[in-house]
Each structure stands twice: as C-alpha cells, then as structure tokens.
Amino acid sequence: MQRSLTGYDRLALAVSPTPRAQEAAAVLRHAHDWVPCAQAQAIVVVGGDGFMLQTLHGMLDSGHIVPAYGINLGTVGFLMNRNRNSRPLAERLARARSLTVSPLWMTAVRQDGTQFSSCAINEVSLLRETRQTAKLRVTVGGKVRIAELACDGVLVATPAGSTAYNLSANGPILPLACGLLALTPISAFRPRRWRGAILPDRLAIEFSVLEAEKRPVSAVADQKEVRDIASIRIEVAHERDLTLLFDPGHSLDERIVTEQFVI
C-alpha cells in the first residue's frame, strides 16, 4: 500500500453511501493504510457538499477536529475538490492548501424555557411555522437595530455558506477571509425597504420572537431544527474552527469569486 507523502501519518476515509461515491472509493481503499476517523490526523471525504457538511458536523460533535480534503462525487461540490485521477491522492494532499472555516454557534430558547444549542457551518435560519408572518426583534452587538421585522424569516450566513441558502434569498456573497457575516431577510414585509446587512463576525446577533404563540418560529442550524422558539443568539465559534484542504487553483475563495460572475 502507498504511504502518505503529506505529513499526516494517519488518514481516514469517509465515503457517501451514494453509488457514485462508493464506486470511486473502491479504488481509494487500496491506495492507503486508512485508520478510523477518531484516530486520524486528516480525513479524505468522498461525496458531495451535503456529505462534507455531515462529516464536518461529526467532527464538531465528537470534538476530534482535523483537516478535511473533499473529492466531489456530488452535484455542486462547492466545498470539494474535483474528482480527477491525473495525480495520485498522496501527491494532491501534499500540494493542498489549507483554508479556515469558522462555524456559528446558535443558542435557542424555546417558548417552554428549554434551551437548544448547535453549530452551523453554512447558516442559521429562522422560519415562520404557519401562514402567519413572523415578527422578530433584531439585536446586533447588544443594540436593538430593528424593533419589529415582519417577514417569512431571516438567516445569518457565514462566508462559506453565503453561496447557499443566503444567495437564493438574494443575500451577498462573502469572501472567506473577510471576517463578516451576512444577515439576510426572507420575504421581508416591514421594514419594506430593508434588504439585510453585512456585519463584523465579532458581533453577536440576537432575535426575539414577538407574538410567539400566535406567530410561531422555528430555527435551523444547517440541518438541525428546533421549533417554537422564543429567542435565539448567534455568534461565531472560533474555538471550533474547521480546516478544509483544497488543490492549488481550486480554493473556496476562487469559487466564491467565480460564483459572482455566473450569468
């Protein structure tokens, strides 16, 4: 078996259950002496963006956070590298450049007073649960910025997540190292002309649900949902920073720039 040339002595392989990913991984399984994820110094992730997010969340949940190198066998592959066989995997890993992704930490309080906390790598979104428009008080940096926001919802996106749900909601695309967050409304009714904000990531963002029983709101941190919330606090969790590895010329920064010129 081929030994690592990357400086990582212990590599793990995480593979999506999709047929395409499993087929590609069949070759990789014989290319290295893989170890379990809990023992790895880096993880090779085969699949799409959704599976990469699942793998990163698994690291956050376990507390064993190591660099991740993605090979795209999904659809978009925004967080992944191209699936190509022109260079051996060990050589690609040796040449890869690291990029830091800072997740969000969400603390939500339900209407019954119970609390729920979770990390989000892409975004935290608040969404109305019924036909009734949500009404939210928006506080940034300890100051009330909007006393009453009437909307279908609102989201806070990281730079890594700014091209996902945030972009679909007409939010801005953020360069990865900008130290900013996107605060983007979803179908805002009042204030009618408010289109969102770009905020320094050192500021905590808080939402209070107004008329919570009549106008219930759920919160979603990436794929984890909590319903019937009363308030929520969102801040960047630098102590949980993640590292993605990219081939030269195919970094996430370059993809963010390219996405803005797609017509």
- For the stretch 86-144, pLDDT in tens is 677 888 888 888 889 999 999 999 999 999 999 999 999 999 999 999 999 999 999 99
Long-range contacts of 249-255 (CB under 8 A, 24+ apart): 250/81, 250/82, 251/97, 251/99, 252/78, 252/79, 252/99, 252/101, 252/160, 252/176, 253/99, 253/175, 253/176, 253/177, 255/78, 255/163
Q: 122 in helix, strand or coil?
A: coil
Q: Residue 162 has what DSSP assignment?
A: T
pTM across the whole model: 0.85
**Is position 85 annotated in a ligand binding site?**
no
Residue with more model confidence, 27 or 198? 198
Predicted pLDDT of residue 28: 86
Position 210 scores a pLDDT of: 97
Chain region(s) in the chain for CATH 3.40.50.10330: 11-102+241-259
Q: What is the pLDDT of residue 4?
A: 44
161: pLDDT strictly greater than 50: yes
Alpha-carbon span 138 to 250, nearest angstrom: 37
Q: What pLDDT shows up at residue 32?
A: 82
Q: Which residue has the higher pLDDT, 27 or 72?
A: 72
The annotation status of 201 as a binding-site residue, yes or no, is no
Query: 123 labelled as ligand-binding?
Result: yes
Q: Which of 122, 98, 114 is nearest to 6 (CA)?
A: 98
Rg, Å, the chain Cα set: 20
| Domain range 104-237, its CATH number among 3.40.50.300, 3.40.50.740, 2.60.200.30, 2.60.120.620 | 2.60.200.30
Confidence of residue 22 (pLDDT cuts 50, 70, 90): very high
Cα-to-chain-centroid distance, residue 204: 18
Residue 175 has pLDDT above 90, yes or no: no
Span 11-102+241-259 CATH architecture: 3-Layer(aba) Sandwich (3.40)
What pLDDT score was predicted for residue 79?
86
Is residue 194's pLDDT more than 50?
A: yes
247 pLDDT tier (thresholds 50, 70, 90): confident
Residue range 48-65: average pLDDT? 93
Residues designated as active site: 49
The tens digit of pLDDT for each residue in 210-230 reads 999 999 999 999 989 999 999
Read off the tokens for 123. Answer: 């975004």
Q: What angle do CA 73, 78, 81 make, to 5 degrees?
A: 55
Q: Would the annotation count 122 as a binding residue? A: yes
| Residue 169 to residue 226: CA distance in whole angstroms | 21
**CB of 69 closer than 8 Å to CB of 77:** no
CATH 2.60.200.30 domain position(s) in the chain? 104-237
If 0-12 CB within 10 Å is exposed, 13-18 middle and 19+ buried, where does residue 226 land? buried
Query: What is the C-alpha separation between 20 and 3, in angstroms, rounded?
Result: 25
Calculate mean pLDDT across residues 156-172. 92
Rounded Cα gap, residues 151 and 194, in angstroms: 11
50 labelled binding-site residue: yes
